[in-house]
Chains A and B, each alone.
Chain A
Amino acid sequence: MKPKLLILFTIIVLLPLGLLLWLGLRLVDYEQQNTRQKFQELLLAQLVDVDETIGRLIEQRETNIINTTQSLELSSLSLRQSSRRNPVIRQFFVLTGNGRLRFPDPQGQLSDNEWAFLQRTRDILTEGNLVRRDPADVPQQQMRQAIQQQSPTLVRNRGQAYVQQAESVYTQALSTAPTSQGWRHWYHGNGDNLIFWQKTADRSIVGAELDPVRLLADVIAILPQTDPVEDIPLTGRTVLADSMNRPLYQWGRYEPSSEEQAPLTQLGLSHPLSGWSLKAYLPPKQIQSGVFSGTINVVGGFVVLCLAVIGLATYFYRESTREIRDADQRVTFVNQVSHELKTPLTNIRLYAELLQQNPSATEEKEKKHLDIIVNESQRLSRLIGNILNFGRQQHSQLTIHPIRGIIDESIRTILDHFNEAFKTNGIDITFRGHAPADVRFDHDALEQILGNLINNIEKYAAEGGAMTIVSRQTNDETRITVRDNGSGIPTAHREKIFEPFHRISNKLTDGVAGAGIGLALARDLARLHGGDLILLETRKGAAFELKIETSPARAVQEPPLQGT
């Protein structure tokens, strides 16, 4: 392949193929991202559900506290009793309008629980500290209402959008919210604590601290079981973690392989448990199952495409070179044939003119000239016969017409044609005939085959100085070998010499002329005649064996002679 062609091939074929592969891989990558994102959205929606469930629990607590405090007279006794009776509340408290703690009264008599409560809430139980305009401290019910009022579709459109928009709505809700009640979250000891407070008409604050253990137990109770009995489509793992990022509870069958594995998606819980977070894990296999086969498909498809393109390119390249070669051969063939025809023609004209212009020539010389003219005419008709038969062969019209005759006699007649030429060239002819039977064969075909073989010896093996022809015969087959002493046929050409247009040396100026159809035609004729023409293994020179089918003439009734 020429370099120019190679560059062109690269530009036209390899570049688009490379681009295609790149795009394919990009597509797979995109698919992967897309799949991941889909899973993330799905899981996020689940987490939002969980968040809402927990949110409703907090809301229940809120209602519970509001109802309880409303029915209470805010005396120390009833508050203390209530604290004990209500399982979800650890401690009630009352702050006076000037920020002093009225219950439990630090100066009064304190139970162990009350004392512990004061220890826990030492830093936050002042009005300024408790009632902060902090987003985290808007009452749950108010916030939910605000969200639903302002954007009723939000709750339905879960996922990322929900979270993002909820935040903005949440901020708006905060600005409009009355600061008469709220949640306060703080961290103490080893866990999160929550207080719900509300202002009363006399500007004092009544509040309640939730029991964190009870809260967690209730939260866990409303979450799915750790090992669900029923099959759920996504076998992942969801983890609820507190504000120190310690796992509080987890469910789902999948066990994340290592601590470092990042969750596929996570969500911070809504107020007031905003320190808590939900993390969702999925087995990587589940996310990538489709992606892997996608890569295989793209790469496989690409390989197939490459092979197809290469195959196609090779096919077209072969076709075009074959066409060029064929065209080349035809041109060479025409040149060779015209050259071949001109040589005998030149001789005939030359000697005819010599005879014409030289009346004084001796009789012997005249005979010699006439002999040459006759021989050259025969050569010419042999050539024309070759060309015509070749034309027929090209159109599959080559046929054999066997008639009665004796092989050895035919061979002698053929040899007679070459006697003169061989004498001039110094080639000795030896003929050993053992085929005297009266058989049926195509005389013209035999003459053409042997003529071509002998002609080749004259042209290519004259320096060997000898030609031996031997004929042998069995019942219905005749074999004729033609040997010479010339330079032989190179091994590389042993089979190719029988291909049309093939010449051992194909250069037109190389001297010996020839169209390269003689042997091809001879073999075809031999095969049509029920035999073959092969090149025998020899140490010196070349030897061809011709085998033809020759049925005995007696066995078949001679057909009446027709003017063919």
Chain B
Amino acid sequence: MKILIAEDDPNILSGLSEIFEAEGYQPILAADGQQAIEKFDSERPDFVCLDIMMPGESGYDVCRKIRKSDSRVPVIFLSAKSEEIDKVLGLELGADDYITKPFGVREVIARIRAVTRRH
């Protein structure tokens, strides 16, 4: 199962990659929004994790574009933005869940599993 991770902080990116690998996913890494869209188109991942604040295209933009071409793939936001309005905006854009930073490893895995189960 391919999982696309878009995150501009390299440490968080590699940390997440490590977690997902340990869980048996195949991580696809993107350092910014533009890369995320390109890799989504080329790799057709089964799951998408998006940071919101990234240089160039923000996570919101990426989510909007993904939803235009594919309305079924699960999308989760991982963001430091913890205001209610940010979460509402993310979910309204078509995301399935919203996890605020700093997050626990187990929480991320549990939520990804939950979203996968529903699909």
Contacts and interface: CB of A to CB of B under 8 A. Distances in A.
A binds B: yes
Contacts of B58: 509-511
A560 to B, nearest CB: 42
Contact of B12 (A346, A510, A511): A346
A545 to B, nearest CB: 27
B53 A350 contact: no
Contacts of B106: 353, 357
Contacts of A342: 80, 101-102
A376 interface: yes
Nearest to B107: A353
Nearest to B22: A358
B32 A511 contact: yes
Nearest to B19: A354
Contacts of B15: 347, 350-351, 354, 372
Contacts of B56: 511
A375 B10 CA distance: 13
Highest count of chain A CB atoms <10 Å: which of B22, B53, B81, B83: B53
Nearest to B108: A350
Give the size category of A's interface with B.
20 to 34
A354 B18 contact: yes
A508 B56 CA distance: 12
Nearest to A351: B15
Contact of B101 (A345, A353, A425): A345
Interface in B76-107: 80-83, 101-106
Interface string B7-26: 01111100110110010000
B49 interface: no
B105 A357 contact: yes
B10 A510 contact: no
B10 A343 contact: no
B103 A346 contact: yes
B60 interface: yes
A375 B11 CA distance: 10
A7 interface: no
A190 interface: no
A171 B105 CA distance: 121
Contacts of B53: 339, 508-513
Interface string B53-89: 1111011100000000000000000001111000000
A357 B107 CA distance: 13
B10 A350 contact: no
A424 interface: yes
A354 B103 CA distance: 12
B30 interface: no
B22 A338 contact: no
A133 to B, nearest CB: 104
B11 A511 contact: no
Nearest to A505: B55
Nearest to A343: B9
Highest count of chain B CB atoms <10 Å: which of A345, A350, A354, A513: A350
B81 A339 contact: yes
A343 B18 contact: no
A287 to B, nearest CB: 74
B104 A353 contact: yes
A357 B9 CA distance: 22
A358 B109 CA distance: 15
> From DSSP, what is the main secondary structure of chain A's interface residues?
helix
Contacts of A349: 102-104
Interface in A78-116: none
Nearest to A350: B15
B52 interface: yes
A345 B11 CA distance: 11
Nearest to B80: A342
A350 B5 CA distance: 15
A350 B12 CA distance: 8
Contacts of B52: 509
Contacts of B80: 338-339, 342-343, 346, 513
B105 A512 contact: no
Given A354-B19, A511-B53, A511-B55, A347 B9 contact: yes
A512 B55 contact: yes
A377 B104 CA distance: 17
A345 B54 CA distance: 18
A508 B89 CA distance: 14
B18 A511 contact: no
A376 B15 CA distance: 13
A421 B54 CA distance: 17
A339 B53 CA distance: 9
Nearest to B52: A509
A284 to B, nearest CB: 75
Interface string A388-430: 0000000000000000000000000000000001001100000
Nearest to B100: A342
Nearest to B101: A346
Interface of B: 8-12, 15-16, 18-19, 22, 32-33, 52-56, 58-60, 80-83, 101-106
Interface of A: 335, 338-339, 342-343, 345-351, 353-354, 357-358, 372, 375-376, 421, 424-425, 508-513
18 contacts: A343-B80, A345-B101, A347-B12, A347-B15, A349-B103, A350-B15, A350-B19, A350-B103, A354-B18, A372-B11, A375-B11, A421-B10, A508-B81, A509-B52, A510-B58, A511-B32, A511-B33, A512-B55
Query: 8 shortest A-B CB distances, which residue pairs?
Result: A511-B55, A342-B80, A346-B102, A509-B58, A346-B101, A350-B15, A353-B105, A424-B10
Given A345-B101, A349-B104, A511-B32, 14 more contacts: A338-B80, A338-B82, A343-B101, A350-B16, A351-B15, A353-B106, A354-B18, A357-B106, A372-B11, A376-B11, A509-B52, A511-B55, A511-B56, A511-B58
